[in-house]
Structure 1
Amino acid sequence: MVSGVKRHVGLMLMLTGLLHTVYGLIAYMKQLQPIVAEGLWNTVADGQWDRATAFWFLIFGFMLIVLGYTVDWLMKKKGIAPPVSLGWMLFTICLIGVIVMPSSGFWLGLPQAWLLIRK
């Protein structure tokens, strides 16, 4: 049986990913406009760190949405709690992110990871 608190982890991850993506679209608009204007294909070349940063920022947001959807689907449709190791992996990634970039949003992932870890 999946607890009610754990059930919300998938939704929280999707919300975090959505906020990350919306923020990225606004914050990196200047870098994203030429990518779109040039037709997307091969528009982030070596040495274009500003464009690469914008791209990876958005992709990470989308990946959080996918992860959250998967966690929610497992819990809601299948009644299966994700493995505790998923929580530990998310916790480790977020902790490293917090250490390297303390003023980032990695802090948001720590409580979500903790909910996945605890039984």
Structure 2
Amino acid sequence: MKYFYSYIGLMIIGTSVLHLFVGLLYYHNLLLELLNSRVKDDSIASIPSETSFFLWFEISAIALLLVGVLVDWLIRIMQLQLPLPFCIGFVILGILATVFAPKSGSWLILIQAALLLLGR
């Protein structure tokens, strides 16, 4: 378990990169449309729901990337053990993501969270 624990940050980074690419592949037409159009109204109400979903999809991938970099730095570079509340919070995040989006890849987060908790 300790071997997997030391590379859990890289696993989270890999998941976030996969999340970014899946979002770009799935929403490539929308992305091209956004890049070719001009913003006419700055209010959040003017953003269509599909565009909003795409933006949150990509923002969450970037946030997950930052968490992965932090976890990797703390475990492999600083050689610290992650605090138990962080590990439990990551498990809760994985459970919630899997419950609310069971057909997505959120089970990857759940596996990584379990490895974080068991590797302590």
- Which residue of structure 1 lines up, in the alignment, with residue 17 of structure 2? 18
1:82 aligns with 2:118: no
Q: Which runs of 5+ in 2 are unaligned?
A: none
Q: Which runs of 5+ in 1 are unaligned?
A: none
Work out the CA distance in 2 between the residues paired with 1:84 and 1:13.
18
Superposition RMSD on alpha carbons, in Å?
2.1
Work out the CA distance in 2 between the residues paired with 1:72 and 1:64.
12
- Which residue of structure 1 lines up, in the alignment, with residue 115 of structure 2? 115
Opposite residue 19 of structure 2, the aligned amino acid is H
1:27 aligns with 2:26: yes
After superposition, the C-alpha distances for 1:56-105 in whole angstroms (9 at most, x for unaligned) are 11111111111111000111221112212222112111211211221011
> Quick check: 2:98–2:110 contact (8 Å CA) kept in 1?
no
- Which residue of structure 2 lines up, in the alignment, with residue 66 of structure 1? 66
Work out the CA distance in 1 between the residues paired with 2:92 and 2:66.
19
Opposite residue 33 of structure 2, the aligned amino acid is P
Please, what TM-score do these two structures have when normalized by structure 1? 0.86
- Which residue of structure 2 lines up, in the alignment, with residue 50 of structure 1? 50
The share of aligned pairs that are identical, in percent, is: 26
Secondary structure at the residue paired with 1:105?
A: coil
Q: Which has the higher contact order (CA 8 A, sep 6+)?
A: 2
